């Protein structure tokens, strides 16, 4: 009987979901709805971060709609969004973008997760002249194609870990060590995002004159980094830099602890998204984490309030984040929706070309940071910050203007 009820409940839920998606499918802007579309990674190797981004989109849409929606002239519109699962593969992303545009009538796109997927989708949105505000594709290779309809709210990836290199050089000087004696180990996933993070790190390593002792490019879907860890054990670098999305961050942390490696400074991306503090506890202490956004920053806007208010509200409304740090992937996804709202209201029209022009002149302060686009479409008004996990808390340690805590070095 219990199973029978469960089946009925599941069937009802499924029908409700299908009905909801059908309603979204049929919605058009003239009915007081603005239909946004997004192909997002719900399965596959980027599923974790993809879910963060989707939560950000959904939260922002609910919040903006609750605050009265989008006001264009004397009419009010509500946001709706149509999703497809791109399965974390660029072979699928471009096709789904075509489907959203041609079959579902989407005229305004929210970005997918990762630079690779964004690179697959951007040519499609560009071809159809569909404005896309994306929040999860940071590689500079996105912004050298002359795209006119692509806008990214986040900072580009070469800035992610560059400040970690500067910190290592500074610490070396303070301890009377020449920068050339600072040994750096690099472990990067072989994908557009991480390769661009690496390019930024390499530029800074050259600038400060540090020495690279390990430079590993690792396969996708990082579940094992033992060869890199073995080299680290032998060569004892002073700084380890890792970039491999959520899986890379998790795998590196697990294996550093398993192999009992003692590295004075470890810097990586995606700490919050991989929930390093929740999953690995004190073993992740002292890690430096690149972040696009921190809840301690002082930005605020009229819809979401301050960064810390946004953080509190997410924790309250989405139980999955109640006990862990809210990842920046979620915050920037919400910011992307807000940028759309602002541009719609300034353009005073549903016309996608007018919207595109309004997006290009965006100059907005959000809870996520300032948003102002260059001609290439990347956000040039917002810096990256570097946080250190200190006693299970993420504290900003660089750049100096935003630092709330001193760097703890060496990590224990």
Partner 1 sequence: MNTGFAKSVLYVCVLALGIFLPIIFPAYIGQMTLLWLMVIFALTWDILGGQMGYNSLGNIFFFGVGMYAAAMIQVSMYYDLAEYTSPAGGGIYEFSFSQYFTGMTVGFTVAALVSVVFAIILGRLVFGLRGPYFAIGTLAIATVAGELVSTWELVGGGGGLSLPNFPGEPSGSRTLFYSMMFLLAIATFSFLKWLYSTRFGLAINAIRDDEEKAEGMGIRTLQHKTVAWSISAFFLGIAGAIFGNFNNFIEPLEVAFPTTTFGIFMVLMVLLGGKGTLWGPVIGAVLFHIIKELTWTYLLGWQWVALGVLIVITVVYFQQGIMGWLMEKYPHWFGIRVEGAKQRLSDMMDEAAK
Q: Is 120 in the site for partner 1 (CB under 8 A)?
A: yes
Q: Is 377 in the site for partner 1 (CB under 8 A)?
A: no
Q: Is 152 in the site for partner 1 (CB under 8 A)?
A: no
58, 78, 190, 395: residue in contact with partner 1 (rule CB under 8 A): 190
Longest pairwise C-alpha distance within the chain: 74
Q: How wide is the angle at C-alpha 195 spanned by C-alphas 194 and 196, nearest 5°?
A: 90
How many Cα atoms sit within 13 Å of 224 on the Cβ side? 3
How many Cα atoms sit within 13 Å of 157 on the Cβ side? 29
Q: Is 98 in the site for partner 1 (CB under 8 A)?
A: yes
Cα–Cα distance for residue pair 205/184, rounded to 1 Å: 9
Question: Smallest distance from the beta carbon of 125 to partner 1, in angstroms?
Answer: 10
Question: Smallest distance from the beta carbon of 383 to partner 1, in angstroms?
Answer: 19
Cα–Cα distance for residue pair 343/350, rounded to 1 Å: 10
Q: Is 41 in the site for partner 1 (CB under 8 A)?
A: no
Q: Is 405 in the site for partner 1 (CB under 8 A)?
A: no
Q: Is 28 in the site for partner 1 (CB under 8 A)?
A: no
| Number of residues located near partner 1, criterion CB under 8 A | 43
The answer to whether the beta carbons of residues 154 and 193 sit under 8 Å apart is: no
The phi, psi pair for 402, rounded to 5°, reads -105, -5
The answer to whether the beta carbons of residues 377 and 233 sit under 8 Å apart is: no
Cα–Cα distance for residue pair 181/196, rounded to 1 Å: 25
Compose the 216-235 pattern: x for residues touching partner 1 by CB under 8 A, - for all others: -x-xx---------------
Question: Smallest distance from the beta carbon of 54 to partner 1, in angstroms?
Answer: 11
The phi, psi pair for 60, rounded to 5°, reads -65, -40
Q: Is 245 in the site for partner 1 (CB under 8 A)?
A: no
- In the DSSP assignment, the letter for residue 302 is T
15, 102, 175, 226: residue in contact with partner 1 (rule CB under 8 A): 102
65, 99, 299, 405: residue in contact with partner 1 (rule CB under 8 A): 99
Stretch that binds partner 1, among 195-203, 264-272, 354-362, 388-396 (CB under 8 A): 195-203
Calculate the dihedral angle through the C-alpha atoms of 229, 233, 235, 236, rounding to the nearest 10 degrees: 110
* Positions that interact with partner 1 (CB under 8 A): 18, 21, 42-43, 83-85, 89-91, 94-95, 98-99, 102-103, 116, 119-120, 123-124, 126-128, 139-141, 143-146, 158, 189-192, 195-196, 198-199, 217, 219-220
């Amino acid at each position: 009987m219990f199973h029978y009820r469960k089946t009925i409940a599941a069937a009802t839920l499924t029908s409700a979901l299908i009905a909801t998606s059908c309603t979204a499918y049929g919605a058009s802007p003239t009915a007081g709805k603005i239909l946004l579309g997004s192909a997002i990674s719900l399965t596959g190797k980027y599923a974790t971060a993809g879910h963060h981004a989707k939560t950000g989109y959904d939260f922002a849409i609910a919040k903006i709609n609750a605050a009265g929606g989008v006001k264009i002239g004397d009419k009010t519109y509500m946001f709706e969004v149509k999703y497809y699962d791109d399965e974390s593969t660029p072979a699928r992303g471009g096709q789904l973008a075509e489907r959203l545009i041609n079959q579902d009538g989407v005229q305004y796109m929210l970005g997918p997760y990762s630079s690779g997927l964004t690179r697959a989708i951007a040519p499609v949105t560009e071809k159809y002249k569909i404005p896309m505000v994306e929040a999860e594709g940071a590689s500079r290779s996105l912004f050298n194609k002359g795209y006119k309809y692509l806008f990214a709210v986040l900072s580009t990836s070469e800035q992610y870990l560059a400040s970690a290199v500067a910190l290592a050089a500074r610490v070396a000087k303070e301890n009377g060590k020449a920068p050339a004696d600072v040994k750096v180990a690099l472990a990067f996933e072989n994908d557009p995002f991480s390769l661009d993070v690496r390019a930024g790190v390499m530029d800074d390593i050259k600038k400060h004159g540090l020495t690279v002792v390990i430079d590993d490019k690792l396969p996708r879907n990082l579940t094992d980094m033992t060869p890199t860890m073995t080299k680290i054990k032998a060569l004892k670098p002073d700084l380890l830099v890792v970039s491999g999305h959520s899986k890379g961050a998790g795998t590196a942390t697990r294996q550093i602890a398993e192999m009992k490696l003692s590295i004075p400074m470890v810097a990586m991306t995606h700490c919050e998204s991989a929930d390093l503090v929740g999953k690995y506890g004190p073993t992740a202490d002292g890690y430096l984490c690149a972040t696009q956004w921190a809840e301690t920053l002082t930005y605020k806007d009229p819809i979401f309030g301050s960064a810390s208010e946004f953080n509190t509200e997410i924790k309250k409304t989405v139980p999955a984040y109640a006990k862990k740090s809210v990842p920046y992937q979620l915050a920037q996804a919400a910011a992307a929706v807000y940028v759309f709202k602002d541009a719609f209201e300034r353009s005073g029209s549903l016309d996608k070309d007018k919207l595109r022009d309004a997006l290009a002149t965006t100059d907005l302060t959000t809870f996520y940071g300032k948003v102002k686009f260059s001609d290439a479409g990347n956000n040039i008004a917002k810096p990256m910050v570097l946080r250190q996990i200190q006693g299970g808390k993420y504290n900003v340690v660089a750049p100096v203007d935003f630092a709330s805590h001193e760097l703890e070095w060496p990590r224990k």
